[in-house]
Amino acid sequence: MFMFEKAIVGSRRYWIWLFCVLCVIAVGFVFYMYQLHVGLGVTGMSRNVSWGLYIAQFTFFVGIAASAVMVVLPYYLHDYKQFGRVTILGEFLAITAVIMCMLFIYVDVGKPARIFNMILHPTPWSPMFWDMISLGGYLFLNIVITQVTLTAEREEVAPPGWIKPVIILSIPWAVSIHTVTAFLYAGLPGRSFWLTAIMAPRFLAGAFCSGPALLILFCLILRKTTGFDAGQKAIDALGVIVAYAMVINVFFIVVEAFTVLYSRIPGDVAHLEYLYLGLDGNYHLVPWMWLSVLLAIVALTLLLVPSWRRNRVLLPIACVAVFLSLWLDKGLGLIVGGFTPSPLDTITTYTPTLPEWSIVIGIWAVGALMITVFYKIALAVHEEVGEEEVHQEDVLVARTASH
């Protein structure tokens, strides 16, 4: 499975990096054991803010997982050849992100030993049941797709014909994972901040800019560290995708804000007030939300001017800005803002604690470990095939010479 033998050969730098990542995972694991032993009270969550960083990170990374569709769709449906090299990177990113999502759910539940009650007592009228189905299915599809296409590449044969419909199925499936995740929140009668039909479209727009932005950054890192070149045209095309998706994302946020602010329904306005202006002397999220706005403006400015977007220095800055802006918006404000003020108008400050941050960073490190290993395998297969081609050419040249 997965040609893991390719991941256990590497340079000194590769092993040092893996060691560091494993150390971070170990710290997260120790804090998770502490949380498991003492209870979820070791986090900053409370009676009124009953979901926090874990669920927010889950939501954000569902978006990263779904964004693989932005390379899969052009490559397989429109035969956009430039994405030949990044498609496998996108699919591996999807696998990594889905596993991170599952870990974030796992660390959030109070009784993890009972988590299989969701399968033992399947409940199709709960959106959470469908989220499990869509995430699990998406993971399965991407594992099959990467396994089959990579094996075909290594054996230098065309992938089997049956994989094409599976890949095409993965496209609407990617949309479904983020739609169902939005439905988790958007169907609750008492939470006006989430009770909006634009939540799923907004989630998708946010996903389709933050995911490809991360993919661009990965391509640039790989170019520096391994010499693997995804192709300037592919990176430019990804830049265009990030630009469009970011514009649509910001447009959706403005649409949302207009409805709430112009109608002036106090219960709806209160959440935006709490996030962006501060409510009853509680300002602790305000700087972060404005930082998100500022980063969005910086990103849009850099992305909308074609020459800046193609600039090798400015593009990564724009990508980091997109990623951080969306992370603050979705990975922080969305969940906490939905809970505050509570239906009984109580403002409860939510501050993630040290164990909570350690567990979150531990799961990021699991993601970093997975992406490193997966990309190592993909690149090793790629190089192997490339070398063989060169080798065969040599043999051919030698033969012709001897004749």
CB 150, min distance to another protein, A: 15
Of residues 270 and 373, the one with the C-beta less far from another protein: 270
Of residues 84 and 187, the one with the C-beta less far from another protein: 187
DSSP 239-303: HHHHHHHHHHHHHHHHHHHHHHHHHT-HHHHHHHHHHHT-BTTB-TTHHHHHHHHHHHHHHHHHH
Site size with another protein, rule: CB under 8 A: 50
- Window of 3-11, 36-44, 217-225, 373-381 that interacts with another protein by CB under 8 A: 36-44
DSSP for residue 6: G
Containing 164, the helix (H) or strand (E) segment is: helix 163-186
Judged by CB under 8 A, the residue of 33, 41, 160, 287 near another protein is 41
Q: Does 39 bind another protein (CB under 8 A)?
A: yes
Q: Does 122 bind another protein (CB under 8 A)?
A: yes
Tokens of 206: 């946010």
Q: Phi and psi of 379, rounded to 5°?
A: -70, -35
Q: Does 29 bind another protein (CB under 8 A)?
A: no
x/- contact string, 326-365, with another protein (CB under 8 A)? ------------xx--xxxxx-x-----------------
Q: Does 304 bind another protein (CB under 8 A)?
A: no
x/- contact string, 48-87, with another protein (CB under 8 A)? x-xx------------------------------------
Tokens of 211: 């995911």
- Window of 94-102, 180-188, 205-213, 279-287 that interacts with another protein by CB under 8 A: 180-188
Please identify which residue in the block is written with the tokens 């926090």: 52
Residues 89 and 109: their CA atoms lie apart, in Å, by 31
- CB atoms under 10 Å from CB of 167, counted, come to 22
Is the bond into 355 cis (omega within 30 degrees of 0)?
no
CB 380, min distance to another protein, A: 20
Residues 194 and 147: their CA atoms lie apart, in Å, by 38
DSSP 15-56: HHHHHHHHHHHHHHHHHHHHHHHH-GGGSS--SSS-S-HHHH
User: Hey, which residues between 127 and 146 contact another protein (CB under 8 A)?
Assistant: 127-129, 132-133, 140
Residues 163 and 65: their CA atoms lie apart, in Å, by 20
Q: Does 172 bind another protein (CB under 8 A)?
A: no
Of residues 195 and 293, the one with the C-beta less far from another protein: 195
CB 6, min distance to another protein, A: 17
Q: Which residues bind another protein (CB under 8 A)?
A: 1, 38-41, 45-48, 50-51, 105, 108-112, 114-115, 117-129, 132-133, 140, 184-185, 187-191, 338-339, 342-346, 348
